[in-house]
Chain A
């Protein structure tokens, strides 16, 4: 069965520092991978998605993620953290494909940004 593992339930960085949020997937076939962000008291918003077109995926708000098949990883990065990046981030994998688009989510990483 497909699954995703997010290492680190809480990550704290200083404003202006590199953000690195880790995600590893397990899949017997090339997956579709997603990063979502959740701000307090809101639903999830799509940050970016990997659909096999390019291994380096750029998303909104300066975030990007690199698909590394050899490491089964899809880590999320941002060169310089901003206070507004404080939120919870979820990695997800599509395990049905096609129009059904059912997602399995990781347990989430709460990002804190210190001034």
Chain B
């Protein structure tokens, strides 16, 4: 019962570096999401994918790109990291019902 798996759990980047956050779900869900969580701001949607082969912007997409590699996997890429992207990133999936969340990736950009 893995559910939604995110890697890595922690990451420290220098300003300007790039990295990809990985997410995989084993529940055969069509929809997948990337959120960022910041203190006092709740969770904000970065990008989502309603189904394999489609992606759309959420509230805060600037500085990010995504790839829906297949039905299971949805990755989030930071091409040139900035300190403002220091946050906890959550991946989630849904089969039309409630969202199921991973345990998050804590990213620090120095």
- Residues of B near A34 (CB, < 8 A) are 98
A101 with B96: in contact, given A41-B103, A43-B102, A44-B101 (CB under 8 Å)? yes
- Residues of B near A41 (CB, < 8 A) are 103-104
A42 with B103: in contact, given A99-B50, A100-B50, A105-B42 (CB under 8 Å)? yes
Indicate if the CB atoms of B90 and A44 lie closer than 8 Å: yes
CA A98 – CA B40 in complex, angstroms? 29
Select A107's contact among B35, B42, B48, B92, beta carbons within 8 Å. B42
A105 with B94: in contact, given A42-B103, A99-B30 (CB under 8 Å)? no
CA A13 – CA B29 in complex, angstroms? 38
CA A14 – CA B109 in complex, angstroms? 39
**A103 at interface by CB-CB < 8 Å:** yes
**B4 at interface by CB-CB < 8 Å:** yes
Select B48's contact among A45, A49, A102, beta carbons within 8 Å. A102
**A52 at interface by CB-CB < 8 Å:** no
Interface residues on A, range: 20 to 34
- Residues of A near B94 (CB, < 8 A) are 99, 101
Closest B residue to A95 using CB positions: B45
- Residues of B near A9 (CB, < 8 A) are 40
**A17 at interface by CB-CB < 8 Å:** no
CA A71 – CA B97 in complex, angstroms? 26
How far is the CB of B79 from the nearest CB of chain A, in Å?
Answer: 24
Which 6 A-B pairs rank lowest in CB-CB distance, beginning with the nearest?
A: A43-B101, A105-B42, A105-B43, A107-B42, A46-B98, A99-B96
> In the complex, given contacts A46-B98, A100-B50, A103-B43, what are 16 additional A-B residue pairs having Cβ atoms less than 8 angstroms apart?
A9-B40, A34-B98, A42-B103, A43-B4, A43-B101, A44-B90, A44-B99, A98-B96, A99-B30, A99-B31, A100-B48, A101-B98, A104-B45, A105-B44, A107-B42, A108-B42
